[in-house]
């Protein structure tokens, strides 16, 4: 039976649901996967052994193909999720059981883990491809374990896994025809993540000190603590300087933009002013035409003056020199004759005086 997925839309939210392996009941993806009990298979039909060809063609409708994938799953990452996705999609109808080894087995055969076993269990329960989590999984799979949990196939990458005195712990599974390989995701692994942390240890130590962790919690010495705090202060100062530089660049950019606009407006006004000036004072400008018109009128007035009005009183022809007004009668006894400037003037004045005397007599 092919696994189906459908979406149920509620008034307030959308819940994605998937078809569970157990008798077609529905299990929402908003719930974590279940933990395995002593025996998790409740199939009533006989659990006959399947071949990979039969499983890929489709299994009987009474049960899905039970696939088992195990591992440590420390610092659960996308490489783990992609491996489980491949295991989940090996067959048309797959029930994926994931076994997680305990801290005791892991520390004994592989090494120290970052996450505890309970944290690793919970991480697997919330992976969407996992139907069931088996806690305290065995390091080496035995026929009794496979029979107990009704496991049809085991999924893992095809690279030989040497551990616990064996060149490949999955060798007997491969020989039994129950092994289905998956592909590893390049560039991501738990060891890679730990290597990044160790390589940049100072950066993460400073980061956690800045976030409130104590030097004792980080296992940092007193001297290193002071060094990291000083480096954090220097970094904060650098960040402030960068912020000031960014603001200054933004301010300078705005000033340049405004100055560009002002220069452009000034050029437009200048061109307008020059155009108006040339239009007014240029060779064929308005001012020249006005000047020529006024000059022509003034020249015409100078050459042909206007006639006097007809009703003006006539003038008598006057001599070249108009007569001077009559002088009052001279009183010779009071007048003091001015001294003659020349002998002829003196004689003339004497004769005029004698004539005046005779007239009076």
How do the domains of the chain map onto residue ranges?
Answer: 34-188, 191-284
**For residue 165, what pLDDT is reported?**
75
**For residue 233, what pLDDT is reported?**
85
**For residue 20, what pLDDT is reported?**
43
**For residue 329, what pLDDT is reported?**
53
**For residue 305, what pLDDT is reported?**
59
Burial status of residue 185 (CB atoms within 10 A of its CB: 0-12, 13-18, 19 or more): middle
**For residue 40, what pLDDT is reported?**
58
346 CB neighbour count, 10 Å cutoff = 13
**For residue 26, what pLDDT is reported?**
44
| Mean pLDDT per 10-residue section of the chain, whose length is 361 residues | 39 38 50 76 65 82 90 96 96 95 94 95 96 95 94 94 83 93 93 93 89 89 87 86 85 82 83 78 70 73 62 54 53 48 50 50 43
pTM check: above 0.75: no
DSSP string, 86-142: HHHTSSSSEEEEEEE--HHHHHHHT---SS-HHHHHHHHHT-TT-SEEEES--SS--
Q: Torsion angle, CA of 192/198/202/204, rounded to 10 degrees?
A: 50
**For residue 52, what pLDDT is reported?**
87
CB 17, CB 26: distance < 8 Å: yes
CATH class for the region spanning 34-188: alpha beta
Which residue's structure tokens are 């340049």? 256
DSSP string, 141-165: --HHHHHHTT--EEEEESS---BTT
């Amino acid at each position: 039976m092919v696994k189906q997925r459908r979406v149920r839309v509620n008034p307030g939210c959308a819940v994605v649901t998937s078809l569970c392996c157990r008798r077609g009941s529905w299990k929402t993806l908003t719930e974590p996967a279940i933990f395995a009990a002593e025996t998790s298979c409740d199939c009533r039909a006989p659990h006959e052994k399947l071949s990979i060809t039969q499983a890929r063609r489709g299994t009987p409708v009474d049960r899905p193909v039970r696939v088992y994938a195990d591992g440590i799953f420390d610092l659960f990452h996308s490489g783990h999720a992609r491996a489980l996705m491949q295991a989940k999609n090996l067959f048309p109808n797959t029930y994926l059981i994931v076994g997680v080894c305990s801290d005791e087995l892991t520390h004994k055969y592989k090494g120290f883990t970052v996450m505890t076993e309970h944290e690793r269990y919970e991480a697997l329960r919330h992976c969407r491809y996992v139907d069931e989590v088996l806690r305290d999984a065995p390091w080496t799979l035995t026929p009794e374990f496979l029979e107990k949990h009704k496991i049809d196939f085991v999924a893992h990458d095809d690279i030989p896994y040497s551990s616990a005195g064996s060149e490949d712990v999955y060798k007997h599974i491969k020989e039994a025809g129950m092994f289905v390989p998956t592909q590893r995701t390049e560039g991501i692994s738990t060891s890679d993540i730990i290597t990044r942390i160790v390589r940049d240890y100072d950066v993460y130590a400073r980061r956690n000190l800045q976030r409130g962790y104590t030097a004792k919690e980080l296992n940092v010495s007193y001297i290193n603590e002071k060094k990291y705090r000083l480096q954090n202060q220097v970094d904060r100062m650098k960040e402030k300087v960068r912020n000031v530089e960014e603001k200054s660049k933004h301010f300078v950019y705005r000033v340049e933009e405004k100055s560009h606009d002002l220069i452009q407006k000034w050029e437009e006004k200048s061109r307008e002013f020059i155009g108006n000036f040339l239009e007014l004072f240029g060779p064929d400008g308005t001012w020249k035409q006005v000047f020529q018109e006024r000059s022509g009128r003034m020249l015409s007035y100078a050459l042909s003056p206007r006639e006097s009005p007809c009703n003006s009183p006539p003038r008598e022809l006057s001599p070249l020199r108009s007569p001077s007004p009559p002088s009052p009668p001279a009183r010779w006894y009071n007048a003091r004759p001015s001294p003659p400037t020349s002998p002829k003037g003196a004689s003339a004045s004497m004769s005029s005086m004698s004539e005046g005397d005779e007239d009076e007599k």
